[in-house]
Structure 1
Amino acid sequence: MTTTFPPATGPTASTAPSTLTAQIPGSKSLTNRALLLAAAAPGTSRVWAPLVSDDTLAFRDALTRLGVRVRATPDDEYWEITGTGRPLGDARIWCADAGTAARFLPPYAATGEGEFVFDGSAQLRARPLRPLADALTRLGARVRSDGPGSLPLTVSATGLDGGSIALDASTSSQYVTGLLIAAPLLRSPLTLVARDLVSRPYVDMTLALMRRFGATVEESADGSLTVGPGGYRPTDLVIEPDASTATYVFAAAAATGRSVRVPGLGKASLQGDLRFTDALRRLGAHVEVACDATTVTGTGRLRGGVSLDMGEISDTFMTLAAIAPLADGPVTIRGVAHARLKESDRVAAMARNLAACGIRVEEGPDRLTVHPGPPRRTTIACHRDHRIAMAFSVLGLAAPDTISLDDPGCVSKTFPGFHAEFGRLFPEYELPLCVRE
């Protein structure tokens, strides 16, 4: 991660606003990866400052059904995980809405012994699993899907051999992460080639955490990854603030001329989504990424006329799209076709909601172009998608009395305290903006 510098028109010491300090909860991506790695490491690990949200609680509960013991301190200061290595025995696992549970846990289950049935909500059942199911079958597992390559999914496991495998990763990097984390539990080395990989920073995060838990991973010049057997060792880990969640307060600072600092999220972050601040810098914000914190300061103007490839940080594109109408020219976001297969078709959902706000939007298979204009009052269709709700909350802050959400509570998937924290930082953000009309 490189430090970025203020534009020449950035705030001076005499005009810079006072800096607000945001309280951002732990990273969902880091929390769920750490939980699984700790479960696969025989012995006791502690995960400090975990995210406590719908998705992480669903993931934690799923692990307990696989025989892993998890003890939480009363204040959730840390979770203590007693890992079992490979799972043994039959189990039914409810993944709720958590895509990470549906993609990470079947490969882990396949390394053990037993019959494991995975299911989830209607929203999660609609998300594809075929590339992962096919990969597990090629590695020796017996996999049955009751739908068209989706949940419910049954894995009949007797352990997995290694070998070489090519995986279609054009729709989700989570398939790659699931197989990589399981790889040290295989009977022989696994070499994996991820074809058309999207969201590479999430795979880099996975590899960094695997190495912390003792795995041996080598990357070849052709991009293939080879993971040796040998399992994991227990490790304690402190979870960083969630960089994806931080985008909402960073965007709010850029859109309203405020200055917001997120401590604990700095140059050494494992999260690629911190690169969202580079997008804000392109739009004219002042960005400082220090060793132990990141600060974004708005300059009173958002520059348009930019085109950005956000394919590697696609969880953040909605945040940028939501404030794009406030720029002084069009903003084009490219490379996000795979975002159509998330909690909702996020490309279409953003286009329709912005259009409902009276904003001109051009939509392509993998892109959006958002034109500037004053938003008009409307109710946003959240599609039970936490990121839609939080992104449009930023627009509602910057354009008062315009935005209502039809499902404000869906933020509990990753940030149950979002509305309260937004209101603490920005007193003009009133809860009536976020209730059903």
Structure 2
Amino acid sequence: MRMKTTDQKLTIVPPGHPLQGRVSPPGSKSITNRALLLAGLAKGTSRLTGALKSDDTRYMADALSAMGVAVSEPDDTTFVVTGNGKLLPPEKPLFLGNAGTATRFLTAAAALVNGTVVVDGDDHMRKRPIAPLVTALRDLGVTVEAPTGCPPVTVSGTGDFGTGRVIIDAGLSSQYVSALLMAAAGGTRPVNIELAGDEIGARGYIDLTVAAMRAFGAEVTEVSPSIWQVGPTGYHATDYVIEPDASAATYLWAAQVLTGGRIDFGVAAAAFSQPDAKSYAVIASFPHMPAVIDGSQMQDAVPTLAVLAAFNETPVRFTGIENLRVKECDRVRALSAGLSNIRPGLGIEEGDDLLVASDPALAGQTLAAEIDTFADHRIAMSFALAGLKIGGITILDPGCVAKTYPRYWDELAALGVELTGDRP
């Protein structure tokens, strides 16, 4: 994992020409971390190809290694994972940085450990809520302590996962549901997992979870749109191909339309199964993006869309994005601050909505602005897009992109974008 480099700055020089070339987005973070956990819970050796190697996935791999799973990396896009169907108690707390997927998934999986597991993270992760998952685990009979409602979480596992029916509030994150689903298959009795109400963040990610579980041998039945039944099948090893990351692709799709370029991704937008791929149609509508965009089902694409909207013909309001306040940072606040640092009033918070006061005339101007990324990879990568059209855009802590897209700056440079300052 990278060392923090918050004193580093990187300035993007507008290329002044269409971006053209071939770029291969990294493997999906969401799918890689699901596959790593399932392979770790499985009996036998699994080969995960097309995988993402980044801070978030290395935290997951290291945590599995600490719990007795053998993880090797024969090349830059492959994990070979060998497990015996059980996780062992780690010798020390699992440190997961600011990796939300790894933290939530491993908190539930820790119930399958016969012993105590402490799941912890950095200062940012210690502010991210996990109470709904803790409550659900307790309802299943798991002994869990999280005094602040955020990590660190202490799980006293018994090697089982409880039984019966559990209701989970997934209004803040679909990851709570995914965490329960994946761990439930490792128990000894069936478990019904039911949503509390209709609110759920990015439901498409649950579909990713169920698909991955079935690939590793689990039996998951969707009883209704809000109830899943998971059988106590455990998992078996399998070879699993991970598709490219749709969230990462959004930056390249946006760079393409902003510069009038043509970038070959090696995969069609329609081939992605991840929720953020829904943003492709919105990006393709630029500079005539919709007046209102509901970001609830493509949350990680919202930073890309918001920066792109700055150059749209008409203002754009983003709704359904309240969950962005509990991501790696408060992304609604970070977006409004960054946009308004470029030009006062360009980004306005109205409740939990974000209003972008679009102005195509921004393109071609020089507006010196330092963008505080708040150590958030998506804020850094999305505001780099503004630098493709506006001179003077400087990204603070550019190395934070290592969380999910370590080669992001290299890819932009390969497309012909000049970068000055501290290149990670």
Give the TM-score, by structure 1 length: 0.87
Which residue matches 2:221? 218
Q: Which amino acid aligns with 2:101?
A: T
CA separation in 2, counterparts of 1:322 and 1:266? 20
| Secondary structure of residue in 2 paired with 1:431 | strand
Please say if 1:269 is aligned against 2:259: no
| Secondary structure of residue in 1 paired with 2:284 | helix
- How much has 1:161 moved relative to structure 2? 1.5
CA separation in 1, counterparts of 2:19 and 2:338? 33
Please say if 1:278 is aligned against 2:281: yes
Please say if 1:419 is aligned against 2:409: yes
Q: Which amino acid aligns with 2:220?
A: V
Indicate how the Cα distance of structure 1 residues 94 and 250 shifts in structure 2: closer, same or farther if over 3 A, else same: same
Please say if 1:197 is aligned against 2:200: yes
CA RMSD in angstroms comes to: 1.8
1:24-43 aligned within 5 A: 24-43=25-44
1:8-407 aligned within 5 A: 20-73=21-74, 75-91=75-91, 92-145=93-146, 147-158=147-158, 159-195=160-196, 196-283=199-286, 302-304=287-289, 306-358=291-343, 359-373=345-359, 374=362, 376-399=367-390, 401-407=391-397
- How much has 1:84 moved relative to structure 2? 2.5
| Secondary structure of residue in 2 paired with 1:326 | coil
CA separation in 2, counterparts of 1:23 and 1:224? 37
- How much has 1:180 moved relative to structure 2? 0.5
CA separation in 1, counterparts of 2:148 and 2:299? 25
Kept in 2: contact 1:407–1:435 (CA 8 A) = no
Q: What is the aligned length?
A: 397
| Secondary structure of residue in 2 paired with 1:171 | coil
Kept in 1: contact 2:19–2:260 (CA 8 A) = no
**Which structure 1 segments of 5+ residues have no match?**
1-16, 284-301
Kept in 1: contact 2:283–2:289 (CA 8 A) = no
- Provide Cα deviations, 1:189-243, integer angstroms capped at 9, x if missing partner: 1111123211101111001111111111111235211111111111111111111
Bigger shift: residues 78-87 or 348-357 = 78-87
CA separation in 2, counterparts of 1:393 and 1:19? 17
CA separation in 1, counterparts of 2:388 and 2:422? 11
- How much has 1:277 moved relative to structure 2? 0.3
User: Pick from 408, 418, 423: which aligns with 1:430?
Assistant: 418
CA separation in 1, counterparts of 2:77 and 2:328? 29
Which residue matches 1:410? 400
CA separation in 2, counterparts of 1:41 and 1:185? 9
Kept in 2: contact 1:403–1:434 (CA 8 A) = no
CA separation in 2, counterparts of 1:34 and 1:90? 20
Q: Which amino acid aligns with 2:255?
A: A
- Provide Cα deviations, 1:106-158, integer angstroms capped at 9, x if missing partner: 1111022011111111111111110111111111111112x411111110011
Kept in 1: contact 2:40–2:64 (CA 8 A) = yes
CA separation in 2, counterparts of 1:409 and 1:256? 24
Indicate how the Cα distance of structure 1 residues 421 and 268 shifts in structure 2: closer, same or farther if over 3 A, else same: closer
CA separation in 2, counterparts of 1:414 and 1:129? 21
Indicate how the Cα distance of structure 1 residues 367 and 434 shifts in structure 2: closer, same or farther if over 3 A, else same: farther
Kept in 2: contact 1:381–1:406 (CA 8 A) = yes
**Which structure 2 segments of 5+ residues have no match?**
1-17
Indicate how the Cα distance of structure 1 residues 18 and 348 shifts in structure 2: closer, same or farther if over 3 A, else same: closer
CA separation in 2, counterparts of 1:189 and 1:18? 52
- Provide Cα deviations, 1:361-408, integer angstroms capped at 9, x if missing partner: 331233211112327220000000000000000110122x23101111
* Over 4 Å off, 4+ runs: 433-436
- Provide Cα deviations, 1:277-320, integer angstroms capped at 9, x if missing partner: 0111333xxxxxxxxxxxxxxxxxx1255211111111010001
Q: Which amino acid aligns with 2:303?
A: M
CA separation in 2, counterparts of 1:127 and 1:30? 21
CA separation in 2, counterparts of 1:403 and 1:181? 42
Kept in 1: contact 2:49–2:79 (CA 8 A) = yes
| Secondary structure of residue in 1 paired with 2:297 | helix
Kept in 2: contact 1:405–1:434 (CA 8 A) = no
Indicate how the Cα distance of structure 1 residues 304 and 34 shifts in structure 2: closer, same or farther if over 3 A, else same: closer
| Secondary structure of residue in 2 paired with 1:312 | coil
Kept in 1: contact 2:174–2:200 (CA 8 A) = yes
Kept in 2: contact 1:53–1:416 (CA 8 A) = yes
- How much has 1:411 moved relative to structure 2? 0.5
Q: What is the percent sequence identity of the aligned residues?
A: 40
Give the TM-score, by structure 2 length: 0.90
CA separation in 2, counterparts of 1:112 and 1:304? 49
Higher relative contact order (CA 8 A, sep 6+): 2
Kept in 2: contact 1:356–1:378 (CA 8 A) = yes
| Secondary structure of residue in 2 paired with 1:220 | strand
Bigger shift: residues 26-35 or 361-370 = 361-370
Kept in 1: contact 2:409–2:423 (CA 8 A) = no
Kept in 1: contact 2:376–2:401 (CA 8 A) = yes
Kept in 2: contact 1:322–1:354 (CA 8 A) = yes
Q: Which amino acid aligns with 2:200?
A: L
| Secondary structure of residue in 2 paired with 1:140 | coil
Kept in 1: contact 2:143–2:156 (CA 8 A) = yes
